[in-house]
Amino acid sequence: MTVVLCTYNDAEYLVWAIRSVCVQPYPHWELLIVDDGSDDGSEEAVRACPFSVDPRIRFVRCRRNKRKSHALNRALSLVRGRWLLELDADDWLTPDCLRLFAGRAAQGHGASFLYGRHRQWHERRDRSLIVGRIGERPKELTADSLLKDGLPLAPRMYSVQRLKQLGGWLTTDPFEGRLYEDLQLLARLLPFGPPEEVPEVAYHRRLRMSSITHRHPDRYAKWLRWMRETLPDMGPSQD
């Protein structure tokens, strides 16, 4: 299993995210960190991290910032595992996340992706955290309902074989792969069959007002119109 962590100017959060992987009792993982052209000392933060000596950790730096989908595609070209589990740089895994997902994947139902539940944490201005609720899930998991509700699924783990068959993440959207890359990939994977759900809370998701998604909530409608034009089989627009 490959855990992929794409980061851009998230130096202050990286050590905690990396630690959450390294303390997993499940041993059969690699962590691939892709630095998407950061200029805040992210590489130095990773190199100084006491966990960085673990031989299962690889670090790749892009020369310039090319957006999240490009970084994920770079990671996809380098993964060694059969499964790719995404970890955002400002989030962290529960201690049993990888064990739970590896166990479900080993059951061999042929799903294109697996998903679990997450705990939300609200970040204050001083970077302290307030515990929140368990994240909502879509009432039904179809491409149309997923995009209509816009609810994130986290954690999520993809079949590397299926990702490569799809050609990875699209980078032709109006924001060049900067926003909603998770939703566009999930919507494209759903036609291959229902995913597998891991019912336990296996991920901690940080909600911060400085994130690009929170700063640009008005962009979703434009992106959704593009997405429906790209995948017309999802049905008519609900705008």
Shortest CA distance to 205 belongs to which of 121, 111, 82? Answer: 121
pLDDT-derived band at 213 (thresholds 50, 70, 90) equals low
Residue 39 burial (CB count, 10 A): 11
Distant-in-sequence, close-in-space partners of 229: CB < 8 Å, separation ≥ 6: none
- The CATH code of the domain that includes 156 is 3.90.550.10
pLDDT at 143 over 90: no
Name the residue type at position 166: L
Asked whether residue 239 is assigned to any structural domain, the reply reads no
Asked whether residue 170 is assigned to any structural domain, the reply reads yes
Q: How many domains does the chain have?
A: 1
Quick one: 119 exposed, middle or buried, by C-beta within 10 A (0-12, 13-18, 19+)?
Answer: middle
For position 237, what pLDDT does the model report? 44
Tokens 């890359």 appear where?
Answer: 181
pLDDT at 52 over 70: yes
Asked whether residue 222 is assigned to any structural domain, the reply reads yes
Quick one: 220 exposed, middle or buried, by C-beta within 10 A (0-12, 13-18, 19+)?
Answer: middle
pLDDT-derived band at 96 (thresholds 50, 70, 90) equals very high
What's the whole-number mean pLDDT along residues 38-67?
94
What's the whole-number mean pLDDT along residues 48-62?
94
What's the whole-number mean pLDDT along residues 7-28?
96
What's the whole-number mean pLDDT along residues 180-190?
93
- Give the chain's length: 239
Contact 25, 100 (CB under 8 A): no
Give the domain range for residue 12: 2-234
- DSSP helix/strand/coil, 236: coil
Q: Which range (8-22, 68-82, 176-190) has the least confidence?
A: 176-190
pLDDT in tens, 103-131: 999 998 889 999 999 999 999 999 999 99
